Each structure stands twice: as C-alpha cells, then as structure tokens.
Structure 1
C-alpha cells in the first residue's frame, strides 16, 4: 500500500487489509510518501488500536519520492510468496479476498496474476459495478495480448500476483501509469485470471489518474504505452502497443498534441494503404454515407 495525502481514506484502506481472514501469514507493507496532511498520525493510531496492527511494516519517507518510486520501494520490501495491492484511497470489502485469490494461484501454476471485479465509488457517493470490465472486457481468463490490445482493465485494489520477478527499471519510475506497466511485466510470465466476485471498492476522481481530465488521461496513457512498447520483452506485444499508439494519436488526442512526425506520416498516402485495403476503405466510406443519410438499399 502506498499513500500520499489521503488522510480522509487511509484508515478504511488499512482496516480492509488487516481484517483479512487467511490460513496463511501476511503482512502489510505501507509506504507514506511524506504526506503533509494528518495521514501519518491516522496510520499510527490505526496500527496501535487494531488487533492485527502488528502485521504492518510502516515506512514514512523523509522526502517525497513520487508515486512510482514510492511503489517501487514498497514492492521491493515485499518478502511474501504473493503480493496484493491496495492504494490508500481504495479499500477491500471481502474478508476472504486474499484467501480466495491465493487459493486459485496455488492451484494454477500457469497463472501469474489474479484480479476480481470491484465497485466503483464516485465522489457523489454513488456506486457502480465495475463498468469498464463489464462493458468492455468480461473474459474469465486472459493473457498479455488481451492486456495490450484492450488497455488497462485491471483495477489496482483487485490484484494478487506471484512475487518472483519484480525487477523494476528506471523506465517504470518514468511511466505516468505505474499499475498498467506492472501488469504487462507480470503477465509476461503467465496467464491472467478474473474472479467475478466484487471484493474491493475503487474510488474514482480522487486518485492521481482518475482525477485528471479526459485529455490529460489520454496523454498520460499514450506516454505509458510508448515506454512499455520500447521495453517489453515480447515483440508481438510491442507491435500491438505501437499500433495502439498510432490509433491514439489519430483518434484520441487533440491536434496540438500530435507530434509532427506522426502528422507527416499520416499525410503520406501509403500510410492508410499499409493498414487496410482499398476495397475495405471504399466499403467503410459507403457504410458511413449510408448511416449518415439513412439510405435504404
């Protein structure tokens, strides 16, 4: 668990972890990135007063590291066989969450990561069941290729993964979106399992990424894709991500954010023909005209 200036939420996050009922030992690695609010005192009081407070290994950073550097620090201090994540503004709602996910990974060596559905909590107090996964991606088993093609369909407080290959480079620290970068690294080593049960709540609009504007989120996601595509070991995944980068530059970002190289490439007639045939292009134009004018044939 990492946190920074999340005094309003941090106690609920910690309690959700410490209330877990497991037939194995676990500990909470909690790294506070030099918060300026009351987070430190709330954390200390929660550890002191909770019966399982002794499970917490608490670090208060003397100087602000930044989100991904703080996450790297926390992950490097995890000594267990498995790692679960829950940032300081989210919380777990099922006391058997860890047990269920660890049981699955123990029985299925070919899976590297297990995640589950979450409730999405908006700032006005309304809750929606995991709309992104439900509407966009609803497979039980997936792979790194799905993750590359569909984007980040995994919410951070839902994951448990094997702790056997976390060597995070400086590129991870540079990445605007750390969790997606991490999921790609992990899924190079095995399949991904989705459990349909809702076992955590994800707050939207209060974290670093979800509180950004749509334009800013698109730019941050693009920057993350560029870093991953340049450093991922799997060449097919790298190519998929590069295609997504081109698509984002053309379809998602405003004109002034598209770099001149891309504009030059797009102005070249060979650009389109390298992706689709002339026949497909003509059919697509025909379908668009047909829909626009509601022609009946």
Structure 2
C-alpha cells in the first residue's frame, strides 16, 4: 500500500525533515526515496532550502506542483547556515503535531520502500523506544566506502548514549523518533558550543527511552570530499570540537562526563600537534592539558609512530 499524504487539518502520523543547500545533483534522489514509501501511515514532508544558489529550489518547486498535499516547501530569504536551518526545520516538524519525525537531508536518500513502515511499526509496538535507526550505505563522491562503527552492526539491538559516542554516530537519514524528543532537544539550540546538531539529537533521545538499531540497509549516506581535510586540519576546528564535547560532558545531567577524561584528552592532543607544527606556544599548553586528562596519550602517539618506521 502506498504511504498516504496528509491531506487534511489533522496532524500526520509522521513528519519528515529535509534541509537542503545547493543539492541540485542529489535532491531528486532524496524526494523520490520519500514518495516511494509504502505504508498505511500518513505523512508530510517539510523541505527548507537555505537560499541555494543553484537549481535546488526550482527542482523542489516542481515536486510541490505534483504533490501539493504532500510537500511543504520554503526557501529562506537569507542563508541561515546548516545548523540553524536544521533546528528551524525540525521546529516546523514539531509544530505539525506529528507524533513521529524522520530525517533525510538533501544529499542523502532512502532505498527501501518499506523503511518508514518498519520503523513506525516498531515504535508503535515498543513504547519504551524513543528512536530507531538502521544500517546505511556510505558513499564518498559517488564511490561506495567500507562502513565502520554503527553503520555496519550485524544484529538488531539497543544502544545507549555511551555506545553512540564511543562508536561514532548514527546516519541521520536512518532515524525515526518520537516528537517528545524535540521537547528537550530544541532548547539546546541556544547552546552556541554545539557544532553538530545530530549527535545532540540522538543523546537527547536517550532521555526519553531506548535507541533501537535495525540490521537492514535502507538509506544511503553521502559524504563529500571537497574541503573536509582542509577544515579538519585547522587548530580552530579542533578547538570547536573540544568546546562541543565539553558542552556534552556538562549537559545531560553529567551522564556523559567521562568525555572529559577520554575524548577531550585526544582532542587537546590533536590541537597541540597542530599548534606545535606552527611553532605556537599554545601547543605546549594543550599538550599538558592532554597529558593531565590522559597520561598515556603521548606514549601512545610515539609508539604508533615507531611502529610505522
């Protein structure tokens, strides 16, 4: 059965958040992956274009003409930036009143027609589950990559917030979660230390229930190589990552305070190496901070370098 568009004033069974910016090469795959869904549940798609400079908006408008009851489309008058646009669109999904919310960003896409049906059915049958996610294919500039972390677990199982932090993260296009998660998540947009919206969403979900992983490949997660190395090789990037992780360690009632002794130490060490290479004194300061939190960090680094000789 084809999934139903929400065509009246009642809240849909599920709201789908799609944010996009200069995704003219990918947005068709995103929208087609949504409209092909087959289920008995009604849904509404909320697409917000962040003032793209390509043909993304024009493509979306063509789909609105074909599916006016299915798609709510808006173009921001100015570019908000990906994180602000992310929060803005999720707020629209929350305000729709839909009890469940899914995400598929404008360069990712779904490949299983029964994806939503499987996840909605699980949530309806398991009230203690706050969020479901699943296996995803990973592509870099159109080339399939070997997956790692939570992308390739081979069994259905539940995960904790600590699991999510330690084993990387969840593919955003794979999630379906309860509306109530946004009640504690959306206020966190005011914390300017956070630089990644998705991991904070997933950790917020742990405040409302369990996270369930489905061992079924139902989406494609795209990565784009342009600029990644350059951005992540700057001290400023690692300083922002430190602030982000530090904010996590202090938030959530201290549940993830272990970050201050483990991942924060690694972040300090990465910053120190970059500053030392630039012959900046700040590198020594960060090195001492790293050793303070994790005394073995320098020995581990030297050992790894020796093994490569």
Place the TM-score, normalised by the shorter chain, in its bin.
0.7 to 0.9
Q: 1:69 to 1:252 in 2, by over 3 A?
A: same
Q: Equivalent residue for 1:111? A: 129
Q: Equivalent residue for 1:77? A: 92
Task: Work out the CA distance in 2 between the residues paired with 1:100 and 1:5.
Answer: 31
Q: Equivalent residue for 1:162? A: 178
Task: Work out the CA distance in 1 between the residues paired with 2:271 and 2:193.
Answer: 22
Instruction: Give runs of aligned pairs for residues 243-282 of structure 1, distance below 5 A.
Output: 243=261, 244-250=263-269, 254-256=273-275, 261-265=285-289, 271=292
Q: Equivalent residue for 1:228? A: 248
8 Å CA contact 1:94–1:199 kept in 2: the answer is yes
Question: How many residues align structurally?
Answer: 271
Q: Equivalent residue for 2:216? A: 197
SS of the residue aligned with 2:124?
A: helix
Q: 1:136 to 1:108 in 2, by over 3 A?
A: closer
Gaps of 5+ in 1: 293-297
Task: Work out the CA distance in 1 between the residues paired with 2:174 and 2:48.
Answer: 19
Counterpart check, 1:177 vs 2:210:
no
Q: Equivalent residue for 1:23? A: 40
Task: Work out the CA distance in 2 between the residues paired with 1:188 and 1:107.
Answer: 19
8 Å CA contact 1:181–1:224 kept in 2: the answer is no
SS of the residue aligned with 1:5?
A: coil
Q: 1:73 to 1:127 in 2, by over 3 A?
A: same
Counterpart check, 1:63 vs 2:82:
no
Task: Work out the CA distance in 2 between the residues paired with 1:56 and 1:127.
Answer: 30
Counterpart check, 1:240 vs 2:264:
no
Q: TM-score, normalised by structure 1?
A: 0.79
8 Å CA contact 1:144–1:188 kept in 2: the answer is no
- Residues 106-161 of structure 1 deviation map (CA, whole Å, 9 limit, x = unaligned): 111111110000111221x33246333356897721111212333x3201100011
Task: Work out the CA distance in 2 between the residues paired with 1:173 and 1:87.
Answer: 22
Gaps of 5+ in 2: 1-17, 277-281
